[in-house]
């Protein structure tokens, strides 16, 4: 009979960090991968943010092109704005701003690499630390004692493997979450379906435009904003890029691929494709949790991390860093509880206490609900009855771009711009009251005194009817 201290179901980034942390502490640790190697079942790429280098410095400094050949740094994000006619009316580029407080966040926004390169590398670090990796092993069920408490896992071949603590790192459709009763199913407003096209491209041509000495220096991240499609992301790698978009399952009114196809076929997008000689490689689709709050993440002998617990960012649904951070915290909790001889539900509650205080937890506790509600009703409102991008895109264009043209004396142009902005106030004011003020309340916490003044100013800007 196989017995371990810690069983980890899943060998993605979160499971690997959990395995590394537990093994380094001397716990007998095994983690399971259903594929022949970690990352084999995940053909997508990912953007790795600077918090990973801050929280896992010794590990992340080892991530180089030697282990991830298609690693590409993105020091800049390019924003493309398309109007209702799918014409590009604005392009903005942003590098890290002066308010960023630490390196390497001052130097880059993300480092982009394929999961097929990242996952094998990070799992090898866990093995190096002493964890045992079992590949080609699909966990189908939990083994429970006479009291219904999980004491192990069962593979599809019927093998039973026992452990004191089980960590569910098995993704959005988590066997551990389902069999433990922590999550029977996601509701449509908790998950997103993300269709994505993968393109190959000439690396030299990518570098010429998006590389360190390119026209758009290190601009390997992009966002496409539009009236006719939900916000779409573009992530550029060494030999190609991904373009994808998503929305909550409960919001889709048409096949999500149709929105993506509309963007792909637009002239602005095709100009970019032609410039780097890009060619479609494959179409991918991902199901991800996209929640305002994680689900309950612990019970007797069990903890959930990453996608299994609903931890992807409530704004971008980015999941690698939350998986790694919660993986580390779950393993640290397992270490403490096993040492104390108590892995009950009440003992494992300290895992929830830990993640709520973490960077991942703060993302949810201070603004997860208000920010996601704003996102849903603006950038992802294109398939809703009220498409707020119909007024936001031209408004943003007016505010950001109106002062650049020489069609009139500058003071006249400013008056024209103000007059145009006033036309949008019937949309702006109720939207601000309903969706923006709750975000500001979370940002400023108790400092609410300025809000009535701002709303009064906006009301006073409304165009008056001539007598």
Residues 335 and 381 in one domain: no
Cβ atoms 221, 47 nearer than 8 A: yes
Residues 13 and 146 in one domain: yes
Distance CA 74, CA 208 (A): 14
Structure confidence at residue 450 (pLDDT): 60
Question: At which of 306, 335, 365 does a domain end?
Answer: 365
Inside any domain, residue 378: yes
The mean per-residue pLDDT over the stretch 328-356 comes to: 98
Cβ atoms 171, 14 nearer than 8 A: no
Residues 324 and 444 in one domain: no
Residues 453 and 342 in one domain: no
Q: The domain containing residue 352 runs over which residues?
A: 2-71+111-184+294-365
Residues 129 and 36 in one domain: yes
pLDDT at 107 > cutoff 70: yes
pTM of the model: 0.93
**Per-residue H/E/C for the chain:** CEEEEEEEECCCHHHHHHHHHHHHCCCCEEEECCCCCCCCCCCCEEEECCHHHHHCHHHHCCCCCCCCCCCEEECCEEEEEECCCCCEEEEEEECCCCCCCCCCCCCCCEEEEEHHHHHHHHHHHHHHCCCEEECCCCEEEEEECCCCCEEEEEECCCCEEEEEEEEECCCCCCHHHHHHCCCCCCCCCCEEEEEEEEEECCHHHHHHHHCCCCCCCCCCEEEEEECCCCCEEEEECCCEEEEEECEECCCCCCCHHHHHHHHHCCHHHHHHHHHCCCEEEEEEEEEEECCCCCCCCEECCEEECHHHHCCCCCCCCCCHHHHHHHHHHHHHHHHHHHHHCCCCHHHHHHHHHHHHHCHHHHHHHCCHHHHHHHHHCCCCCCCCCCCCHHHHHHHHHHHHHHHHCCCCCHHHHHHHHHHHHHHCHHHHHHHHHHHHHHHHHHHHCCCCCHHHHHHHHHHHHCCCCCC
Inside any domain, residue 25: yes
Provide the CATH number for the domain around residue 340: 3.50.50.60
Question: At which of 365, 385, 410 does a domain end?
Answer: 365
Residues 332 and 379 in one domain: no
- When divided into structural domains, the chain yields a total of 2
Structure confidence at residue 1 (pLDDT): 66
pLDDT band at 434 (very low <50, low <70, confident <90, very high): very high
Residues 341 and 388 in one domain: no
Inside any domain, residue 466: no
Percent of the chain predicted with pLDDT > 90: 86
Inside any domain, residue 232: no
Structure confidence at residue 403 (pLDDT): 84
pLDDT at 379 > cutoff 60: yes
With b meaning 16 or more CB within 10 Å and e meaning fewer, what string describes 289-320?
bbbbebbbbbbbbbbbbbbbbbbbbbeebbbb
pLDDT for 219-278, tens place per residue? 999 999 999 999 999 999 999 999 999 999 988 888 999 999 999 999 999 999 999 999
Structure confidence at residue 368 (pLDDT): 80
Inside any domain, residue 154: yes
pLDDT band at 383 (very low <50, low <70, confident <90, very high): confident
Structure confidence at residue 253 (pLDDT): 84
Residues 302 and 450 in one domain: no
Distance CA 155, CA 142 (A): 9
Structure confidence at residue 452 (pLDDT): 67
Inside any domain, residue 400: yes
Residues 175 and 64 in one domain: yes
Residues 452 and 421 in one domain: yes
Question: At which of 327, 345, 365 does a domain end?
Answer: 365
Residues 140 and 117 in one domain: yes
Sign of the dihedral through C-alpha 242, 248, 251, 253: positive
Inside any domain, residue 121: yes
pLDDT at 382 > cutoff 70: yes
Inside any domain, residue 218: no
Residues 135 and 153 in one domain: yes
pLDDT at 466 > cutoff 60: no
């Amino acid at each position: 009979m196989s017995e371990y201290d810690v069983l980890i179901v899943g060998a993605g980034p979160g499971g690997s960090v959990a395995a590394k942390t537990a093994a380094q502490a001397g716990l007998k640790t095994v983690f399971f991968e259903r594929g022949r190697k970690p990352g084999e079942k995940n053909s997508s790429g990912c953007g790795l943010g600077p918090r990973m280098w801050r929280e896992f410095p010794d590990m992340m400094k080892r991530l180089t092109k030697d282990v991830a050949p298609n690693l590409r740094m993105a020091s800049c994000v390019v924003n493309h704005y398309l109007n209702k006619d799918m014409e590009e009316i604005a392009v903005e580029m942003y590098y890290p701003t002066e308010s960023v407080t630490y390196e390497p966040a001052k130097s880059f926004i993300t480092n982009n690499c394929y999961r097929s390169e990242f996952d094998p590398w990070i799992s090898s670090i866990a093995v190096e630390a002493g964890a045992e990796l079992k590949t080609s092993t699909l966990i189908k069920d939990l083994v429970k004692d006479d009291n219904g408490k999980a004491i192990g896992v069962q593979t599809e071949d019927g093998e039973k493997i026992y452990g004191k603590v089980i960590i569910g790192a098995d993704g959005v459709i988590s066997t551990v979450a389902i069999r433990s009763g922590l999550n029977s199913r996601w509701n449509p407003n908790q998950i997103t379906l993300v269709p994505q096209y993968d393109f190959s491209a000439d690396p030299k041509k990518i570098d010429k435009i998006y590389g360190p000495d390119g026209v758009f220096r290190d601009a390997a991240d992009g966002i496409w904003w539009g009236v006719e499609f939900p916000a779409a992301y573009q992530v550029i790698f060494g030999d190609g890029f991904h373009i994808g978009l998503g929305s909550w399952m409960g919001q889709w009114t048409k096949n999500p691929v149709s929105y993506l196809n509309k963007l792909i076929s637009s002239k602005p997008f095709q100009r970019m494709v032609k410039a780097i000689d890009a060619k479609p490689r494959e179409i991918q689709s991902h199901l991800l949790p996209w929640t305002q709050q994680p689900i309950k993440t612990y019970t007797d002998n069990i903890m959930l991390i990453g996608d299994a617990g609903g931890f992807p960012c409530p704004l971008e649904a980015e999941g690698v860093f939350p998986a790694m951070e919660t993986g580390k915290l779950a393993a640290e909790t397992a270490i403490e509880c096993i040492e104390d001889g108590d892995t009950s539900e009440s003992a494992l509650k300290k895992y929830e206490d830990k993640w709520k205080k973490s960077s991942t937890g703060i993302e949810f506790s201070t603004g997860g609900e208000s920010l996601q509600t704003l996102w849903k009703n603006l950038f992802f409102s294109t398939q809703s009855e009220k498409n707020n991008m119909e007024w936001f895109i031209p408004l943003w264009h007016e505010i950001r771009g109106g002062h650049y043209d020489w069609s009139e004396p500058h003071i006249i142009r400013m008056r024209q711009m103000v007059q145009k902005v006033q036309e949008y106030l019937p949309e702006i004011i109720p939207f601000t009251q309903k969706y923006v003020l709750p975000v500001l309340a979370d940002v400023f916490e108790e400092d609410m005194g300025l809000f009535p003044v701002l709303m009064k100013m906006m009301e006073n800007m409304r165009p008056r009817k001539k007598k």
